[in-house]
Structures are given as C-alpha cells and as structure tokens.
Amino acid sequence: MQFSFTNEINQSMVKNLLKRHGVSKRLLSNIKFDGGKILVNAHEENAIFRLRVGDVVTILVPDEPDNECLVPEDLALEVLFEDEHYLVVNKPAGVPSITGVNHPKGAMSNAVKGYIARQGYKNQAVHIITRLDRSTSGVMFFAKHRYAHALMNMNSNYRKSLQKRYFAIVDANSKLSVLTEMEKAAVSEQLRDCGQKLPQTGSIQLPIGRLDGSIIQRQVRFDAGSKQAHTSYEIVKEKNGLQLLDIQLHTGRTHQIRVHFSHLGFPLIGDDLYGGNHELLTRQALHCHHLQFLHPFTDQCIDIELPLPSDMKKILS
C-alpha cells in the first residue's frame, strides 16, 4: 500500500512530516527494514532528508505477514461496513473477541482472519480497534492494515471521533444505592437519592479499578489504581418490570457499564458476575448497537446502527 503527504514546513525532516500524519516509529522501521520505501517527489530518500514546502512524500508500506499463532476459521461473519482500510462486523453473544490460552479457536479474531484469507487480501494481520466482552453482542471494529489501526489509536482527532452506544436492560423495580459523599460528587444530581427509581437520564463519572484478589472483576474505587470512567444513559423503554437503557460510553474501561450500573443498584439482567438476575437471560443484557467514527482516509462520518438482538427483544415483548 502507498500513502502520500504534501509538506508545508520548509526544512522539515521526512520523519517529522510522517509523524504529523500518524506514522509511528514502528511503522517507519517496518518501511525501512521490511521492504518498504520512502519517496520524495518520486525519488527514494531516507527519513532524515530535509524537505521544501510543496514536496510530496510517498511511503510504500510493505505487506504484513501472516500471524501463524492466529488460526483462520471459516465462521459466519456478518459484515456491517467494509472498505480497503476498515471492517466492521456484528459479534454474536457468547463468542469471544480474541483468542486465549483456553480458547485458541472460535473467536471473532479467528473469523476475521479466515475472512481475510478467503478474500485474498495482501495484508493478513488482524487489527482489533474495539472489542466486546464474550457475553456482549454487537458492533466490533477492525483495521485492515497497521497504518489504519495507528490512525484510529494514536491520532487524537480520530480517536475522539469514535463513539459507541449500547442497549442494556435492568430491573425497573430496583432502587438507587446509598453513595458516599465522594461518590455523589461523581454522579449527576438525580442519581444521589438512595431508595429511588432510576431517573430518566443520568451521568456517571465513578472511577473504576481492579477488584482486589481478582484478575477479572472490577469495582468502583478512588485510589491510585483506578481510572476515570464516564457513562451517560437514557431510559428508552419500560415493560414487564424491565427498563431498556440507551448508554453512551465516554471512556472505555473494562466492564465499565456493568460496574457503574451495578454500583448504583441496577446490575444488568443476566450479569451474574455483578449481581444481575439471570433467570430471564443467561448472558448479560448488553448490546453495542451504534458505532460512529470519522474516517481518517476520507474524512467521512461513518455511522453504523444495529437493532436490539432477539434474546433481549424477547424479554421486553
């Protein structure tokens, strides 16, 4: 693949121009040592070559080799969006996002690897931009080459443009928990009244850290080991003693939605790890239904929407 950039700063070095356009040191090293090229006005140069205003720098990015540790599988894959740079798919509940020691197969990464192989793409590496818990369904976002991945991860404008929304179901008859004064300061005013129903809308900025003694479970905690987390929500439906929430993630902490709502006294239906009732659903009622991002290569706003999955729809009908 090749990408071109026009220099606007006199005497700027090639590597500085490329850095401004999101080319990492690692990618620059790949270009240098793995068969790529740097061209300035169609002539090969090195990374410290000094540019004039108007010079055009083109990078020829070498194809990425196959990762033999990741097994390609011919699994069903619902593609929601695809171009030469990005791939967005619908992950079913119960399928892990990535492989692990105990499950080297059957993950979304295996399915995407198999899809890439069948399509005959030159780049065979799988780049995951967003992932979901095993029991969560919905939109997953992949990059099809390392430069596309780097732009979404490292460039603040594109990273901030990435927005995800979730549907979740909670028990409408639950009541708000008692919060400490420090916790009250981290939630919107309507969430501070213990013993009340969940308000129509709310904002939660409770920090999250690992639960002591667990490598999986998280909790709300105010210490050096925690990270700021921000969730906002709106109740969009109430039926059968259940409430359907439309949730906006402003940060992406592990188990963020599950921890925030459990801490408020409203664990997700089916979420037995955080105290949810699993009689109605055998997995947490959480579905990533919306993904929006600014496309780094076209500057178009990509907007992808999924309906409520059948198992969550059933308990609300």
Active site residues: 133
> Given 3-state DSSP classes, what are the helix, strand and coil percentages for the chain, each rounded to the nearest 5?
20, 30, 50
Strands annotated E in the chain? 2-6, 37-40, 43-44, 56-60, 78-82, 86-91, 127-130, 137-143, 163-171, 201-204, 208-210, 218-220, 231-239, 242-249, 286-294, 301-305
Residue with tokens 């993950």: 107
Q: Which residues, other chains included, contact 48 with Cβ-Cβ below 8 Å and sequence gap of 6+?
A: 13, 14, 15
**Between the CA of residue 317 and those of 127, 239, 310, what are the distances in Å?**
38, 7, 10
CA atoms within 13 A on the CB side of 297: 14
Report the DSSP pairing between strands 286-294 and 137-143. parallel
Contact between 51 and 14 (Cβ < 8 Å): yes
SS3 287: strand
Contact between 143 and 127 (Cβ < 8 Å): yes
**Between the CA of residue 202 and those of 19, 245, 249, what are the distances in Å?**
40, 11, 12
CA 96 to chain centre: 14
Looking at residue 1, its amino acid is M
SS3 244: strand
154 forms beta bridges with none
